[in-house]
Amino acid sequence: MQKEPIILNIESATGTCSVAVSRGDKLLHLREAGKEFDHSRVLTTLIGDCLKASGLSLREIDAVAVSSGPGSYTSLRVGASTAKGICYALGKPLLKIDTLQALALGAQKDTPGHGGYYCPMIDARRMEVYCSIFDRQNKLITGAKAMVIEENSFGDLFEAGRKIVFCGTGAEKCQSVLTSPMAVFRPSKCSAANLPSLSNQQFKSGNFADIAYFTPFYLKPPNITVPKNMNLLKA
């Protein structure tokens, strides 16, 4: 009988950083940072604590899974570099997990009787979100895109009788705009607890990322502002 893979799962796409150790689909232990956007300081500590609670060493894991985006540029880079470093050092395979798909899966677990679509949203600037749409089997319907939410957003789906569960860090700010009775809002956040079933599937199918060339899916370039006094530097 084939043993279930032990996977270290890293979620760092948004403000909340978390780590989970899983065996197959089963979550063994979860650790989450208590402070937002503190990834570079706490991630390695979370990994060590989670492994210790699981009674495992880093060498005993079979793979590392990392939430690959979209999300915060800096946050994704921290998770990706940490995951790649572990894989390089120990010769372990790397698994990249769609951040929005994992977020949708978490919402599906919370709404088992819902028969419509799921729209995970990650907060961007102002009324913009990164989002995609999945059905209740977690099959992708609409790919990830940056979208400015307006009153008529998703109107074609609402008019077609599709209920949509909106979830994630970007959903809350859209609740006052998307007022259709077909819109359902679930408070949720990105968590490594949502990764195990997806990472297990990818491991068993041999769907490994190329460690040398893997980069997160940023969707949009970072928002870099130029200081107002930049002209002084040119003087």
0.85 surpassed by pTM: yes
pLDDT at 233 over 50: no
pLDDT at 87 over 90: yes
Grade residue 226 by pLDDT with cuts at 50, 70 and 90.
very low
- For residue range 98-154, list pLDDT tens digits in order: 999 999 999 998 887 777 999 999 999 889 999 999 999 999 999 999 999 999 999
Q: In the numeric block, which tokens belong to residue 142? A: 């609409």
For the chain, residues classed under CATH 3.30.420.40 are 6-98+190-205, 100-186
CATH no. for 6-98+190-205: 3.30.420.40
Residue 117's Cβ-side half-sphere holds a number of Cα atoms within 13 Å equal to: 21
State yes or no: cis peptide before 70, omega within 30 of 0.
Answer: yes
Superfamily of domain 100-186: ATPase, nucleotide binding domain (3.30.420.40)
CA distance 96 to 217: 10
pLDDT at 235 over 70: no
What pLDDT does 36 receive? 84
What pLDDT does 228 receive? 53
- For residue range 58-68, list pLDDT tens digits in order: 999 999 999 99
- For residue range 177-191, list pLDDT tens digits in order: 999 999 999 888 899
CA distance 226 to 224: 7
What pLDDT does 187 receive? 80
Q: In the numeric block, which tokens belong to residue 87? A: 């894989």
Q: In the numeric block, which tokens belong to residue 187? A: 């408070």
Q: What is the mean pLDDT of residues 191-210?
A: 98
Grade residue 232 by pLDDT with cuts at 50, 70 and 90.
very low
